[in-house]
Structure 1
């Protein structure tokens, strides 16, 4: 059981400098989220301390001060495991943020154009997280990550994610939310990019992964026992408990800072990693390569957007 001190640290704001995520570089922290459907952004504002913490993070990044030693070859398994869990954590929070904005649109609250632009930015951030979590070598993925899911359940699936249900329709791209006409094309392009990246990452890591993923998307399970979502949360170190918007966003900031430090030290594809085999066509398009090159900036932008922190001038 996590101690009270550890739980408090995991919910606290990150410091401006130095690695302070987990006990050492590329360690993990549990994520605490409210149950799906429970309100968590009650007033729609992040809070001044969150905004200031994000501003310090952006300043440190701009100054090149987010530094940590790069991973060595023997540390690659730990690095890619960190990316797999932490990148998914950021994705879960992104889904919650998108769901909150979709609810605003459905209720007719707020500036529809501004909300649409936020959703588009969050969709792009999710694409970035798929590239980040999928940056493992095929060897480490198939020797370490994939077997760990199988040990939890022989049919372990991303469709079990409790927070994904609220945004599934958006990412399938079958019907856009009620956004203004001037924002619809940009959102549709980002959704299409996320679909291509999802297929490309699957093809890169798993033999026949593209086909298996497409089959799952086209043939979702008719029923999903509640225990599956619990298994999914357990695997991804996700705790379900009452959590305020401040606590959720503080956890997002902690992870965005750690990811930014990792990328500054190692790049998306570490030089000490052995990448073999051809790159899937979905990961070679100009749009995907641009997303890759902007990944660190995207991570920092999503932190700023979520916390209401204006960009640095």
Structure 2
């Protein structure tokens, strides 16, 4: 999901030790037991510190982006170039702020925020493929339920300019979704876990994630889907013992949704022809997600819930 400020085979999941999967939800560690050498913020302070980082990363570049005609009066992107800037500038600044905080204040290694584990690039790429498959499954399920009218096949394939823009968007979503996973499922999840345990950390991270994706008048099913998205991502990170896979999943999900079907991604419409199939929504918002797009559909919530149950399953000895 793109922040608004602004299951498959077991082989896809990293094979971890038995103890990692059986670690209780009140455990005070997720990714690494290496200690911090600086100051770790209190559990109650961490969400507010997180929000301060987010607000600063939005407000600092906003005047500059407005002067370039890339951002409107409400902070939304203007045109495709505005979307590139939206996905890269604030998120990169946000990630940099959190990274500096970890290095200079908490003084703990990046392994403790999920940047650990073997073959990170391969794990990231597998996650990206799973993200493309899962969002395709969401869209296909809505289509089979009668939520879309088929309007054409792959119109972007005849436009080299559109294909180039899609490749650039992949890089932009890699920054946006990668940073979101680093700051949410990496830093916030791990710092609250070290204070209150994993269960409380999942709840706190999900509440903050849902709040930052909320806007006035938004339908309840949109918020339900957002919360389930966060819970799924948190559980994936905890079960895997790193954030590489879920980072790739988030990138693939956002990217293919934005360019594959001419459908909104978290309420944003990308002005490009569809890479795969052009779809026109029809039917109630509960089915199609309305202006939010497939992520606001109850079908999306149901599939995310299935994914959550899959991640909660006991691992066989």
TM-score (norm 2): 0.27
